[in-house]
Amino acid sequence: METIGDWDEKRIGDLRGKVAIVTGANSGIGFHTALELGRAGATVVVACRDERRGREALRTMQEQAPEATFRFEKLDLADLASVRAFAARFLAGGEALDVLVNNAGVMAIPKRELTGDGFERQFGTNVLGHFALTGLLLSALRRSASPRVVTLSSGMAAVGRIHLDDLQSQRCYSPSLTYARSKLANLLFMAELGRRAPWLTSVSAHPGATHSGLQRYAGLGTRIIMSFLGQDAAAGALPSLYAATEEVTTGEYFAPGRMLHLNGSPTRVRPPRRAEDAETARALWEASEKLTGVHFPVGAGAEVGA
């Protein structure tokens, strides 16, 4: 572990001229990530599923950072048609995309549910939705002089297992272990994206024990941990903000630096061993392409196809 020091949002540099997209930016970690990127000067796309809540969050951001530029765009990561429509709208504007923060997610849904595309909801939202979004926005990332993709994971990734023959948890569904699998998959995606698109910076972060809407289905053990060690969403956003704005290298992973990475200022941490399995990452990538129909380019010069 490498300690970064007492870093917070006040140390973010000038982001004027940069464009960022933050998924799930209407609440929690995503809200504070978007807010601080905007406060630092970036134009921020507030991308979220619920239009009413998204526009309410937008108004709050504008009140708290009146000099910043935010705009709302509807995006439902559990619906590939919505992902494609969002990407098409963004690409139509011709903007370069400097920072994509793959933040949105669902956690520990009590019973196995399917998205409209037929995917298990946690895997479909947390993994496949962001996989498709990143691929469809790749040409906009190419326009940036220093493009970066930040993919959110979780400390739960350490107990995750990738079963390539049961990615949809059809044989065995566990609310928490299926979530852990999706978060391990996010780390594998981050690493494989860096290998396949070496012209961008691909990093990951996790927020530790952060109070947010994700805990609505949390069990007793999680609630007890949160009551003693949990931090607010503004603090939980710091690893994401560090990953999105500071000098970092593809493959790096950031987490809170205190109490077993549950709270505190961000620090670099080593991903779980299973997240360093390049063969599994490649196989998961290929499966994600088949499931979503989004095919990333091979090599530095190709364009994405869908």
> What is the set of active-site residues?
179
Q: Bridge partners of 99?
A: 20, 148
The amino acid sitting at 81 is A
Contact 236, 182 (CB under 8 A): no
The amino acid sitting at 180 is A
Q: Bridge partners of 254?
A: 205, 268
Least Cα distance to 117 among 109, 108, 129 occurs for: 129
Secondary structure of the chain in the HEC alphabet? Answer: CEECCCCCHHHCCCCCCCEEEEECCCCHHHHHHHHHHHHCCCEEEEEECCHHHHHHHHHHHHHHCCCCEEEEEECCCCCHHHHHHHHHHHHHCCCCCCEEEECCCCCCCCCCCECCCCCEHHHHHHHHHHHHHHHHCHHHHHCCCCCEEEEECCHHHHHCCCCCCCCCCCCCCCHHHHHHHHHHHHHHHHHHHHHHCCCCEEEEECCCCECCHHHHHCCHHHHHHHHHHCECHHHHCHHHHHHHHCCCCCCCEEEEEECCCCEEEEEEECCCHHHHCHHHHHHHHHHHHHHHCCECCCCCCCCCEC
